[in-house]
Amino acid sequence: MLDEFLLHLFYQGNCIEAYKLFGAHVEKDGVRFTVYAPHALSVQVVGDFNAWGENKIYLDKIKDDIFSLFVPGLEAGHLYKYRIETQHGTHVDKSDPYAFFSELRPNTASRLYDLDGFKWDDQEWMEKRTACYHDVLNIYEVQAGSWKMKKEFTDEEDGEYYTYDELIDMIIPYVKERGFSHIEFMPLNEFPFDGSWGYQATGYMSATSRYGTPHQLMALINACHKADLGVILDFVPTHFVKDAHGLACFDGGYVYEYPQDELRETEWGSCYFDVGRNEVRSFLMSAVHIWIDYYHIDGIRFDAVSHLIYWKGQEDRGVNDGGIEFTKKMNHQLKRRYPDVMLIAEDSSSFPQVTHSIEHGGLGFDYKWDLGWMNDTLAYFKKDPVMRQSQDIHYKLTFSMMYFYRENYILPFSHDEVVHSKGTILDKIWGNHDQKIAQCRSLYMYMMTHPGKKLNFMGNEFAEYKEWDEKKAIGWSILEYGHHKDFFDYLTRLNHLVKSTPALYECDFEFNGFEWLVADDNLQSIYAYTRYDRVGNAVVTILNFIGNKHQGYRIPVSHPGKYELIMSTQDHRETFVCETIEGQTLNKAQYLSVDIDPFESLMLVYKREG
């Protein structure tokens, strides 16, 4: 019997546990199959246990739109699909929308799996977990298959991935040593085409079999938590692939997608979810919730949120009221149960209040990617330093603070910036190799001291030159070259310094946590600002984005006293302490006199008396 309360919530569009109603559930003496198929005339389950339908097993129609049957004698491991008779009298074989596990691609069957039984021992992490508003959030974005590979893909042969289990002893100590606080995995749901990176999914509740089993993935997440690392997962709530075995025309009708031709097709050749339908809302909310519930995921990054907000992601097409209502409903349900799980919007639109509470008219996300900051910053660094002296270019790096407190932002240098002939982060910077490396160091000091949480894609940490390709591992061999190894060590020190300095993360979203000191010196391409923690400790950052040396440059500061250098972008710079000098500079009564080398940036900590 189906749980009538959950079923009521499902039809209302309020169910976040629909996977308890539908799917294939392994029980003591067999398996119960249940599928939502409102247009089907009949449904069979076919699999390796009945010669793929030679011995027919029809599900009972227990409601007008639901088919279910308990099949005795089955256990975990069997492969299956649903054979659906459409209203046109044709038959289609479909994988289970609520499957917990799937066959390894290129095969497309669902696989019976019991998610229960994994023994978690991450209680200490779960009890102290927060949404990181006032904590460090420095994310290492990873594509699990191409971080490292046993064998790379060629035109003739498939490659070979490391498993979830094998990654435990490889990626966790690496990320810890590098000073990151969280790993963000690009989608780990099941998907047919490697080149989609998981963003065109078929199995929304199924951990991809490319890297092992669901319990092996749970073991990886458990190990991350025991190592004090959070785990964030990418999720696509907007669209799905049109592959024949998937959700498209699931039962011969439009179950998951819009029925209207002009609304259904996406720019990626996939189908938009009809997020105005209650049953689709329950499916998507449940697909998010299962990762939090069963896999202990600490954050969900929602892809292409602008396509939930606007029809086809285009503001001129108008607001998608159904998408807005669904987003608010989903975020309300999730935050009510899991206030410590981060909900992150990858949203390229200017729609307001994305990270404001639903009660105050917002969409209810915790964070939004600041794609404007990313675009402005990279556009600035592409310019010849002579061009940076123009006011229009100079203000690309001050503009972010004019809007920053409208949302809770994450500053991302993600996978999207290092593929499809866009060049890597280092590629985008003006100059010869030495100049690029020097500026890249200053770029990262700017990023890590700017208000907001941080995200970097794998390979950024050693100033990668090779564009990311999912068929190959990132370019580890570049660490054999001195400049890249030195940059690698520098960014590691910078990450650890941020982690140990509350002024650089504690008040990311509070007005009194940031103060401009030098914002308008475009002719010298100098910027300076102070970051504060909640008890008034201060860190001053001085950025030089031009190839000139500045002798005795005056930095106005708010507090008289001593300031100690805690980091320079130049490894040879010795630590020093400088004391303020009385004298009106800009709007301050005292200043620091600092020598700054070409493309050098500095961080100084204010030494409070007592």
Enumerate the active-site residues. Answer: 303, 346
Q: Whole-angstrom Cα distance, residue 516 to residue 530?
A: 6
How many alpha carbons lie under 13 Å from residue 471 in its C-beta half-sphere? 8
Type of residue found at 97: P
Q: Whole-angstrom Cα distance, residue 174 to residue 229?
A: 11
Where helices occur in 450-562 by DSSP H, the ranges are 482-499
Q: Are 122 and 131 in contact (CB under 8 A)?
A: no
Q: Whole-angstrom Cα distance, residue 1 to residue 132?
A: 42
- Characterise 459 by phi-psi region: left (phi > 0), alpha (psi -120 to 50), beta (else): left
Q: Are 270 and 337 in contact (CB under 8 A)?
A: no
**Tokens 């070979």 map to which residue?**
160
Instruction: Return the DSSP state at 383.
Output: S
Q: Whole-angstrom Cα distance, residue 160 to residue 330?
A: 37
3-state secondary structure of 539: strand
Closest by CA position to 44, among listed 22, 25, 61, 29: 61
Where helices occur in 396-515 by DSSP H, the ranges are 400-403, 433-449, 482-499
Q: Are 147 and 458 in contact (CB under 8 A)?
A: yes
3-state secondary structure of 266: coil
Q: Whole-angstrom Cα distance, residue 357 to residue 503?
A: 25
Q: Whole-angstrom Cα distance, residue 408 to residue 345?
A: 10
Q: Are 229 and 183 in contact (CB under 8 A)?
A: yes
Helix 482-499 / helix 164-178 crossing angle, nearest 10 deg? 80
Q: Whole-angstrom Cα distance, residue 237 to residue 301?
A: 10
- Write the CB contacts of 295 (distance below 8 Å, at least 6 apart in sequence): 207, 214, 217, 218, 221, 233
How many alpha carbons lie under 13 Å from residue 419 in its C-beta half-sphere? 15
Q: Whole-angstrom Cα distance, residue 152 to residue 473?
A: 7
Q: Whole-angstrom Cα distance, residue 96 to residue 71?
A: 16
Q: Whole-angstrom Cα distance, residue 197 to residue 419?
A: 12
How many alpha carbons lie under 13 Å from residue 461 in its C-beta half-sphere? 26
Q: What's the helix, strand, coil split of the chain in %, to 5?
A: 30, 25, 45
Tokens of 309: 């907000």
